Structure 1
Amino acid sequence: MSAKTSPESSLNAFERAAIEAICSGHPLGSPILAQIETALVHERRNTGSGFFMDFTVSRRSPPLQVASPIGDATADVSGLSGPVIFLLYLSDGYADCLECASVGEDDTRKIDFSSVKFTIPSKSGPIIRISS
Structure 2
Amino acid sequence: MRKGSIKSHEDLEVYQVAFGTAMKIFELSKKFPVEERYALTDQMRRSSRSVCANLAEAWRRRRYAAAFVAKLNDCEAETAETQTWIKFAVKCNYLDIESGRELYATYNQVLGSLVSMINNPSVWVIEK
TM range (shorter): under 0.3
What is the TM-score normalised by the length of structure 2? 0.27
Of Structure 1 and Structure 2, which has the larger fraction of its residues in strand?
1
Larger Rg belongs to:
2
Of Structure 1 and Structure 2, which has the larger fraction of its residues in helix?
2
